[in-house]
Structure 1
Amino acid sequence: MCRWLVYSGTPVLLSDVLYRPVPSLIDQSLRSRMGVETTNGDGFGIGWYTDDIDTPAIVRDTGPAWNNRNLREISDHVRSPLFFAHIRASTGTAVQQTNCHPFRHGRWMWMHNGLIAGFDRLRRDLLLTVDPELFPHIEGTTDSETMFYLALTFGLDEDPPGAVARMAGLVERLGHQIGVEFPVQMTIAASNGERVWVFRYSSRRESRTLFYSTCVESLRALHPDVAWLHRLSADTRIVVSEPLGDLQGAWNELPESSYGVIPAQDGEMLAAFDVHGLTGPGIG
């Protein structure tokens, strides 16, 4: 599988989040503690937004993140209020640049950890469902990119949670038709540059790990002597496949079958998620 990270909040250098924590996402590319694979060396990608450009920048490569000098160089010079970072462990598709995350279409970024079980048999039917106007923009061969373009087809611009639910529901329905018992395994991050949506869901209800950071004000109260916490805005959040660093009380597991919004909408960061639609009130 893969490991990924989302940062949203006070503009910081990418290196502050990618490299500085111990363990960091770069450490996880070589020694993941919670992933299906210990090593995630089948490529990496970073994407970020700036204040004056609507579309995100994307940098991707097929080599491992832990020894990439260009990634180190970029991360020491790029400052952003919102960025994605992803380290890849292929589930069977080719190790090539167009298969590395994050994926981009217009103002949207998307990245994924997990898989569509039976994707080799489902791929044709899934791709035929993609909006014909969007289809030419698909560059790679992964299930992750297919999920992205299905979500775009199902209204990601207007209703991100609903679009992702419809996408996952379609995968489950088609998977069940060919005898795949548990078609969907996913943690997903999507952003339009203004907000970030993160999802944790699987058909088996045993989803890959996903954690979000405790609110900055609470962390300041817990750790009043940690200087860098005082430089962050109250709405700063990080979402990760597995925790970074060792700051006590910093991380909370995203509940099974739920999604989160950053910055929070109507004071609620988390809500229940179901492939047949959204259910229940906010839970966070």
Structure 2
Amino acid sequence: MLQINRFYGVHNMCRFLAWVGEQRYLDELVQEQEQSLVIQSRNALIGKTPINADGFGLAWYSDRETPCFYKDTHPAWSDANLKQLAHHTRSRLFLAHVRASTGTATSRNNCHPFGVGKWSFMHNGQAGGHDQIRQELDSMIPAHLYGHRMGATESEAIFLIAHGEGLDSNPIGSMARAVGRVEALSRQCGSLPYMRFAACWSDGKRVFAARYASDRYAPSLHYRTSDDGIVISSEPLDADSDGWVEVQPNTAIVTEGSVVSIHAFDPSVKREPAKVA
């Protein structure tokens, strides 16, 4: 039986997983593992929030460049459409997320993953004092991208800010700069914790993931490689402790075929936050 210390030294809000490799039915990871994502939505074993019932979402890639999304506000364990769709859909690359809100409304537009063009993105964490920084946060999103601002979460804002920082040309550096800018804003006029960030994002070919926090409570992040692909997850999906690798704080990973490469993730950019009126 899989047993993990629920508090584990980290503070997690949401849960997610990503797969890249051979074609695989979504339900093999979303529903059928010992500690599948649906089980995590009811009983997460790492972190302080065991219940993740504020919606869920899927993004998967097929023959087209852009991903397909399915989201809803129901708890993942009670959605019959999710069960049917995941059972009959195969993909070589997909993202899945269950949400525990840190304050914004439970709505479809606030459910992860988010998407722009070929990119998809999902996040576990928060920017402290979101209510105080929300207007300034929106002002960081470039005007030509603001039409993609469908919800009200800081997660979606970070994703769009990263686009403005050059996501296409530098997927890790642009995300680090976006996180750094939002953390600086939270430090200026938000509240603790200034930034908690574990995220996955994809261009349809590679999966990127990173783990970071402004304090010592970086949300958890793990990955496992196998002959047929790579799975990245907030927590291990089974009791094979030797098979799972914990991503360390201040670190990003990138999948290149069947290989995972490790990179520094440093949001401490020297950039002025948005001006406060």
Give TM-score, length-normalised by structure 1: 0.87
Q: CA contact under 8 A between 2:21 and 2:257: conserved in structure 1?
A: no
Structure 2 residue runs without a partner (length 5+): 1-12, 270-277
Q: CA contact under 8 A between 2:130 and 2:190: conserved in structure 1?
A: no
Aligned partner of 2:60 among 34, 48, 70: 48
Aligned partner of 1:167 among 157, 178, 187: 178
State how far apart, in whole Å, the 2-side matches of 1:88 and 1:163 are: 24
> Are 2:255 and 1:262 equivalent residues in the alignment?
yes
Q: CA contact under 8 A between 2:55 and 2:98: conserved in structure 1?
A: yes
Question: 1:181 offset after TM fit, Å?
Answer: 5.1
Q: For 1:244-266, what per-residue CA distance to the aligned partner results, in whole angstroms no more than 9, with x for missing partners?
A: 0223422111011100001269x
Q: CA contact under 8 A between 2:15 and 2:234: conserved in structure 1?
A: yes
> Are 2:95 and 1:84 equivalent residues in the alignment?
yes
> Are 2:23 and 1:30 equivalent residues in the alignment?
no
State how far apart, in whole Å, the 2-side matches of 1:206 and 1:172 are: 15
State how far apart, in whole Å, the 2-side matches of 1:120 and 1:78 are: 38
SS in 1 for 2:235: coil
Aligned partner of 2:236 among 232, 243, 247: 243
Q: CA contact under 8 A between 1:18 and 1:26: conserved in structure 2?
A: yes
Alignment match, 1:197 = 208
State how far apart, in whole Å, the 2-side matches of 1:124 and 1:71 are: 34
Q: For 1:175-219, what per-residue CA distance to the aligned partner results, in whole angstroms no more than 9, with x for missing partners?
A: 222263541101011101011110100111320111111x32xxx
Question: 1:165 offset after TM fit, Å?
Answer: 1.1
Q: For 1:228-274, what per-residue CA distance to the aligned partner results, in whole angstroms no more than 9, with x for missing partners?
A: xxxx43xx110100110223422111011100001269x66111211
Aligned partner of 1:253 among 246, 251, 254: 246
Question: 1:29 offset after TM fit, Å?
Answer: 0.5
SS in 2 for 1:93: coil
- 2:53 aligned partner, one-letter code: G
SS in 2 for 1:55: coil
Question: 1:44 offset after TM fit, Å?
Answer: 0.3
> Are 2:140 and 1:136 equivalent residues in the alignment?
no
Give TM-score, length-normalised by structure 2: 0.89
Q: How many residues end up aligned between the 2 structures?
A: 257
Question: 1:87 offset after TM fit, Å?
Answer: 0.3
Aligned partner of 1:185 among 171, 196, 219: 196
Q: CA contact under 8 A between 1:4 and 1:86: conserved in structure 2?
A: yes
Q: CA RMSD in A?
A: 1.6
- 1:6 aligned partner, one-letter code: A
State how far apart, in whole Å, the 1-side matches of 2:132 and 2:164 are: 21
State how far apart, in whole Å, the 2-side matches of 1:124 and 1:146 are: 11
Alignment match, 1:282 = none
Q: CA contact under 8 A between 2:129 and 2:192: conserved in structure 1?
A: no
State how far apart, in whole Å, the 1-side matches of 2:39 and 2:140 are: 38
> Are 2:264 and 1:272 equivalent residues in the alignment?
yes
- 2:34 aligned partner, one-letter code: V
- 2:126 aligned partner, one-letter code: L
Note the 1:199-238 alignment, pairs <5 A.
199-213=210-224, 215-216=225-226, 232-233=227-228, 236-238=229-231
State how far apart, in whole Å, the 2-side matches of 1:73 and 1:182 are: 38
State how far apart, in whole Å, the 2-side matches of 1:91 and 1:10 are: 35
Q: CA contact under 8 A between 1:2 and 1:35: conserved in structure 2?
A: no
Question: 1:36 offset after TM fit, Å?
Answer: 2.4
State how far apart, in whole Å, the 2-side matches of 1:92 and 1:268 are: 34
Alignment match, 2:272 = none
Q: Could you tell me the percent identity over the aligned residues?
A: 38
Q: CA contact under 8 A between 2:120 and 2:202: conserved in structure 1?
A: yes
SS in 2 for 1:54: coil
